[in-house]
Every structure is written in C-alpha cells, then in structure tokens.
Structure 1
Amino acid sequence: MGSYRFILSGGGTGGHIYPAVAIANELKKRHPDAKFLFVGAKDKMEMEKVPQAGYEIKGLWISGIQRKLTLKNLMFPFKVISSLLEARKIVKQFKPHVAIGTGGFASGPLLRMAASAGIPCVLQEQNSFAGITNKLLAGKAEKICVAYDGMERFFPKEKIVKTGNPVRMDLVGQKSGKEEALGFFGLDAKKKTVLILGGSLGARRINQLVQKELKFFEGQGLQVLWQCGKLYVEEYKTYDSDSVKVLAFVNRMDLAYAAADVIISRAGAGSVSELCLVGKPVIFIPSPNVAEDHQTQNANALVSKEAAIMLRESELDAEFEQKFTELMDSKELQSQLRTNIKKLAMPKATEHIVDEIEKLLK
C-alpha cells in the first residue's frame, strides 16, 4: 500500500474552510507521507486561504443559487455540469482513498463524483441547521460528523456521529493569564472588559450598537475591546482611547478571550464552538443575513440549555441595555452561563472526525 490520498472540499466562507484545513492537519500528523488535494470554488476565499495553510487547491466554476432570478441563476445549470465534469476528472486523476466535505457549494459536485466512483465520503456539518449541500449529499456519505444534537431531522440517524466542530488549536489547552492579556491590549486591570466580536470582516449592526452604547459602557465603568472588522476600522478608529481599544482584526484570540469578562458575538458555528471552550458569559447577536438563518438556530441551541443570552438585531435598540445590565449585575447569572457553556465544549472534535475517516481506510 502506497501513501494515502485525501481529497477535501469546503468553502465559500471561513466557517467551511477552517474545519477542512484542521482535518487535513490532523490527518497529516497521523500520516506524514499522505497526499492532500483541496477542491474549492474558483472565485471564493478558499483559493487564497488553503495555499496559505500549505495545501494544493483546484477551483471549480460553481456558485450558489441566487435567491432571485438573475443572469447568474441562468448560468447555474451550466456551472453545475461544468463542475461535475471537472470534479470527475479530478477524482479520476487523484484517486483519493477518502473524500471529505465540510459544506459550501464546491463540495457538492466533488463528493457526488467521488461517491459515484465508489470512494467513501465523510461529511462535516458545522451548524445546528444543516446546509443545503450536505443535505443533498447525505445519502451518498458513509459518515456525517455533526456538532449539535437532533441532527437526525436532516440526516439518516445511523450515519451521524456527534464530534463537535474543529476549533483553533491555540485555544485548546493553553490558558493565557488575564494579566498578560490586559497588558497586551493596554487595558486597565481594575476594570471589567467587554469583548466585541463581529467576525473578520466585521458586522455593521453590532458596530452601530457599540458606537451607540459607548457612553453606556463608560457609565458602567467598563472597558471595551472592539474587533470591528477590516471593512469598518477607518470609520470607528476615532473612538480608540484608554478604555476603548478598536481593532480591525484580533491576531491573538487567546489573549482577547483571556482579557474578557463578557463577550458579545455573532453566532457562526466556529465562533459558537470556540466560545464553549472559552467558557465566559456570552451575548449572541446572530446575523439575520445567512442561509436558513442558521446563526439564530446555533444561538438558540445554547440558549435552550441556559448557556448563553441571545438578542436579535431587531431587539437591540429596545432591549440591549436592560439585558446587558441584568447580566452584569448578577454574579449568579454569569456563573450559570459560564458553567453551562463549558459543558457543551468538545475540544477533541478534530481528532474524533479523523478517527471516523481512518475507519474508512481499512
């Protein structure tokens, strides 16, 4: 037997790319001489992110269906046919032992062709509400790795394995000290810190909220670590001060989490899984502009276990200050949220997913 060959596909957003890279890294650790090939969508961020992680990637001419009738939609059938033919060629040439899909459009054609060539397929679904591509592929997969309970609504029960989502290794295990963290960001050790996370690009509605509430935070004697995103940093950096630190991007997430007493965040699957490991009180403000409103579903899965607080964008003006004050005034609520969110952490997710992949190599 020569070395193993793994083909991985997932992309469109960091939420699909990051898990695919984490799985590849773990496979590589166990099989140093294995060959890897990623397949993505030609014009999406995986074409840049995957090579940065040190892996080869091929792009397919594919995109999602737009919600309204557009020229792009008229091209859709052609893109699908083109992608299926290209995917079949890639599978034939590369001859993978296992194909792994982490969601996103490109994984559709690739896993479909891998399955029809008799190659075992593993799917990884990050969200509590399954994505369309994974739902379409479920029948062809040997195993479906999920992060939430109740996924038999979408997938055949006997294929589901609850593994959790891959999270950044630098967050597992290493516990940065609070003092070091506060020093790193130039924050005051005597004040409580609110960490605001809007994702790498930023979240307009969360930024508008923070801007409006800066006086309120100040009145509460709080300091703010505000990751506003690279699209918004020009607009908000004027608010940078001793007690408000405005950042486009947080390079040391471990230190940001260590500095935080309370966290306000979007509810993408990756963020939710990370925040379970971090174990601090969280207020989720889900993005309403994502497919199938899955961020609201992700946040709800925690709220139902009394592990987080959720506010919809439409409720912010009316309810934010009251909900936030209730949380800051109640040691009991803070402690309940910390305890319950930690119970949901699955730090060994990547290893479990790779265990399932290895079973198919026999």
Structure 2
Amino acid sequence: MNNKNKTYKIILSGGGTGGHIYPAIAIANELKLRMPNAEFLFVGAKDRMEMDKVPEAGYAIKGLWISGIQRKLTFKNLMFPFKLIHSLWGARKIVKDFKPDVAIGTGGFASGPLLYMAALNRIPSLIQEQNSYPGITNKLLSKKAQKICVAYDGLERFFPKDRIIKTGNPVRQGLLDIDTKTDEAKNFFNLKQGKHTLLVLGGSLGAKRVNELIEKELDFLDTQNVQIIWQCGKLYYQQYKIYSNTKNVQVYEFLNNMDLAYAAADVIISRAGASSVSELCIVGKPVIFIPSPNVAEDHQTKNAMAVVDKEAALIIKEEDLNADFENNFSLLVASPEKQKQLGKNIKKLALVNATKQIADEVEKLLKN
C-alpha cells in the first residue's frame, strides 16, 4: 500500500494551551509531508486559542462547547455536565461526517469527547501524553487507544504497558537549527551588542508569579547588564506592556517567532510544562525553571527535576523566589562556564525525533 498517494482522513484534537496545540500541529505537519493527499481536521474547544492558532497553521478546525472542571465550586462546574453531553454529541457528529481513518489526541479539554467518540466508532486512535504525570482525560482514553506515545519513563503505572511507546514530545521543526539563526534573531529583536539577553516565558496564557517577579526585578536586571525579551501572556499583556522599550525591555503577549526568540537568548526563565521542557532540551541554552505549583500532582516540578537532577538546568520554586532569585541569577550570568555546562547537559536530554516516531506509529495504525 502506498501511503503517499492514498487519501487518508486524519482527525486531531489538542488545545487549551500552546503545550497541547503545537504538538498536534507538529504531528500534522509531519504526516502531511508523508501523505500530501491526506485530509486533516482539528477539533478544539470553542473560545480557546486553538481556534486561532490552528487556522494560522493552515488547517481546518471545529470547536466543541467544553471546558475543564475547576478545583472549587463555581458556575462553570455546575455547567460541566451539560457541556460534556453537548460536546459528546458534537464530537459524534464530527466523527460521523468526517469519517476519519485515525484519531490523534495531544491533550486538552476537547480531546476527551473526540477520542471517546472515535473509539466508539472503532476508529484506531493514538494519544500523546506529554507529562510525567498524566491527566484524568488521557488515563481514561488510554483504555481504548491503540498507541500511547510518552515522553517519560515509568508511565506503566498509568497506562497499559504493551501500548506505550517512548517517543518524547513533538516540537516545532524550526527549533532544530536555531544555532544558525543567532545573527538573524539579534537583528529581528533589535538587540544591543555587549548585553546578556534574557528570554522570559510564562506560557501562552501567561504566568502570574513569573510576571510579578520580572516586574519587581527590573532594576536589578538592569544592573546585571541584561536586555529582556518578556513573553508575559495573553492574560497579562495589558498590565505589563507599559514596560516595553524601558530599561532594555521588550514585552510581548505572544511570540510567533519562537525559533528566533530562543536563538537570541543567552539565559531563559521558563515554566516547566512538558512541551516547554522538551523544547528547551533541543534549544540547549541555560535555563532557570520556575514550576507552576497550581497543576495536578505538582507535575511541573517533576518535569523540571528530571532535568535539574542531571545538572542540566536550575530550579527556583515560587516560594523561594524572593530569597533566591537575585543570587542565583547573578551567579549564572557571571559564569560563562556554568552557562556552557548547563546548555551542553540539557541538550543531551533532547529527543529530537519525537515527531517522526509518532508519525511512524500513526502510519502503522493506518496500515492495519
């Protein structure tokens, strides 16, 4: 069978944050290269960022009325059962109309209803679990999925062992050659010679505590001869944009040219979401992780520690920022040797073929 010429229909679901969207787009791009005649459809949650980002990447998307369960009693929680039923009916109609040959889920609210309905219709499915500790949706979906692609060891306690394949997390292809883009990046961001460049990443929506830290430390960072590319996130841009172009600071809601942002950076401050960690391993720059404590099973700390334990990054917990940040940062910036060591060690952890391996597994499902 020649996959290249067959008109397969491939449905993908992943969203809510960039950490779920970009892996799905990366997988679709790889499959499209292999199967130019294939037809792709994404399914996301209405009013979430995938409804913009997926069409920007050139793919069609349909939205479901679905959201997650809040940790406290809210009106949204009371609406959840109605949203779930509505989204299951919506997913059923999408699957029935599109008739996919395979379904792929990368996490996020919409992937649950979509992959559940795909399984009910006996469509082979693959889920991609990015974290060291899976969420409830993927735990439930794994009972029906044929393949479960993971990025960490030890997930047999959550998933059927015979269906697990360790691939790593898909990353944007443009990150694989950032070493060649340094000059382009410095021109793009109009950076000054002779200054250290700090890239601050709080995720697509933003990280409140990270943003508060940077605002508080702007004067200190100025004394460290640092210029800052600060991605503060959609939720916080209006609050922090006043600092743009002051004290060598550039503030962005979102960075569309992540390859150039990484290429420009000398030091990176980041949350420790699974996709971010995977990308930073490939980027190979010194990183200070500030994990979010507000996630299930504190999985961001676990993700970060998997890197820190190999002397490949630094970590500062939120509760320690006031006490430790200035000392840790100034020591790192003052030591080119430490920067080089961290960059070299984190690059050793990169799983650069994740997207290709996941696409291989999808092709196997299509051939069965």
Regarding TM over 0.5, the answer is yes
Q: 2:131 touches 2:299 (CA, 8 Å); kept in 1?
A: yes
Q: Please give the residue correspondences for 1:1-362 in structure 2 after superposition, counting only pairs within 5 Å.
A: 3-230=7-234, 231-232=236-237, 235-238=240-243, 240-241=245-246, 243-362=248-367
Q: 2:106 touches 2:127 (CA, 8 Å); kept in 1?
A: yes
Q: 2:218 touches 2:247 (CA, 8 Å); kept in 1?
A: no
SS at match of 1:173: helix
The 1:49–1:192 alpha-carbon spacing in structure 2 relative to 1, beyond 3 Å, is closer
The 1:47–1:192 alpha-carbon spacing in structure 2 relative to 1, beyond 3 Å, is closer
C-alpha distance after superposition, 1:324-349 (max 9, x if no partner): 23323444432331122101112221
The 1:304–1:20 alpha-carbon spacing in structure 2 relative to 1, beyond 3 Å, is same
Name the aligned partner's letter for residue 96 of structure 1.
P
Q: 1:7 touches 1:39 (CA, 8 Å); kept in 2?
A: yes
Identity %: 68
Distance 2:153 2:40 in 1: 31
C-alpha distance after superposition, 1:302-341 (max 9, x if no partner): 1122211111111100111122233234444323311221
Point out 4+ residue stretches in structure 1 off by more than 4 angstroms.
none
SS at match of 2:251: strand
The 1:207–1:7 alpha-carbon spacing in structure 2 relative to 1, beyond 3 Å, is same
The 1:45–1:221 alpha-carbon spacing in structure 2 relative to 1, beyond 3 Å, is closer
Distance 1:217 1:58 in 2: 44
The structural deviation recorded for 1:101 is 0.8
The 1:211–1:105 alpha-carbon spacing in structure 2 relative to 1, beyond 3 Å, is closer
The structural deviation recorded for 1:275 is 1.0
Choose 256-265 or 348-357, whichever is displaced more.
Answer: 256-265
The 1:342–1:122 alpha-carbon spacing in structure 2 relative to 1, beyond 3 Å, is same
Q: 2:17 touches 2:205 (CA, 8 Å); kept in 1?
A: no
Name the aligned partner's letter for residue 278 of structure 1.
V
The structural deviation recorded for 1:177 is 4.3
SS at match of 2:123: coil
The 1:195–1:50 alpha-carbon spacing in structure 2 relative to 1, beyond 3 Å, is closer
The structural deviation recorded for 1:103 is 0.9
Q: 1:225 touches 1:245 (CA, 8 Å); kept in 2?
A: yes
Q: Can you give the 5+ residue segments of structure 1 that lack an aligned partner in the other structure?
A: none
Q: Can you give the 5+ residue segments of structure 2 that lack an aligned partner in the other structure?
A: none
The structural deviation recorded for 1:71 is 3.4
The 1:101–1:251 alpha-carbon spacing in structure 2 relative to 1, beyond 3 Å, is closer
Q: 1:187 touches 1:242 (CA, 8 Å); kept in 2?
A: no
Distance 1:244 1:64 in 2: 35
SS at match of 1:40: strand
SS at match of 1:190: coil
Distance 2:339 2:107 in 1: 34
Q: 1:176 touches 1:255 (CA, 8 Å); kept in 2?
A: no
| Number of residue pairs the alignment of both structures matches | 362
Q: 2:178 touches 2:262 (CA, 8 Å); kept in 1?
A: no
Name the aligned partner's letter for residue 181 of structure 1.
A
The 1:85–1:229 alpha-carbon spacing in structure 2 relative to 1, beyond 3 Å, is closer
The 1:89–1:262 alpha-carbon spacing in structure 2 relative to 1, beyond 3 Å, is same
The 1:172–1:116 alpha-carbon spacing in structure 2 relative to 1, beyond 3 Å, is same
The structural deviation recorded for 1:360 is 0.8
The structural deviation recorded for 1:144 is 0.7
Give TM-score scaled by structure 2 length: 0.90
* Aligned Cα root-mean-square deviation (Å): 2.2
Distance 2:93 2:237 in 1: 42
C-alpha distance after superposition, 1:239-269 (max 9, x if no partner): 6246333344334322322222211112222
Q: 1:128 touches 1:301 (CA, 8 Å); kept in 2?
A: no
